[in-house]
Amino acid sequence: MSKSKEPEIKNRVLPHSAFSSVFSNKGFTLIELLIAVAIMSIVMLALYGTFFSILNSQSRIEKELEWVRELRRFLDVFSSEIQSSFYKDGNHRTIFIGEKKDSHGRPVSSIDFTAFTYTAVIDGRPVSDIMAVEYSVEENPEGMLTLYKKVWNPYVGDKKDGFKVEILGDIEGFEISYLNGKDWAKAWDSSLEKKLPDAVKAVVAIKDRGEVREFSTIARTRIR
């Protein structure tokens, strides 16, 4: 009786590639992780840069818009004051004087005039409803121009007693012209002309992103 042969078992050596595929955990290597972190950092920095750039641009635009709104409010107030300006020949308390000036080639006109406004009350009694107004430009040591307004009551004081306030800062120029019939003049003195100008034009120049922009208004005098 013959004995059955047992199957012969031989040791087999798996190739390296097969071994790797069986035992690999399919994760990232350290180098891959470092590269991923570096790429993520670059992306995040770019996103942060874009985000803050947008915020800065929005903030700058909002400031510029607010500045322009203030400028337009000034022009509206100036027009209203010119329309209510008053001068009477022989009454030294009423004035209308405009001077042409410049600062390093930039116009810096000044104007003094009287106008009807609210009634001033002294010791409980109404004194006058005429106020004197001055607009003038001053230059600081850095060369920046600032427009100021001074107000006083010509019946109870003079210019040196007036209340002075800053109107517009960092402007590039302030120029006023006066209409006399068909011609525009850069200066006016009602004590010589014996009357008010027919109209007044004010131009404010500002620098916007390296370019000079001008805003203007024309107001006609109504009181003769």
pLDDT (tens digit per residue) in 12-37: 554 545 444 444 455 668 787 788 88
Q: Taking Cα atoms as reference points, which of 186, 133, 127 lies closest to residue 159?
A: 133
Identify the domain containing residue 184 by its residue range.
Answer: 67-220
Cα–Cα distance between 115 and 133 in angstroms, integer? 8
Rg (CA), the chain: 39
Q: Is residue 166 part of a domain?
A: yes
Q: Is residue 188 part of a domain?
A: yes
CB distance 205 to 147 below 8 Å: no
Q: Is residue 187 part of a domain?
A: yes
Q: Is residue 5 part of a domain?
A: no
Q: Considering its fold, how many domains does the chain have in total?
A: 1
Would you say residue 117 has pLDDT above 90? no
Q: Is residue 12 part of a domain?
A: no
pLDDT (tens digit per residue) in 123-150: 555 556 889 999 999 999 899 999 999 9
Q: Give the global pTM.
A: 0.71
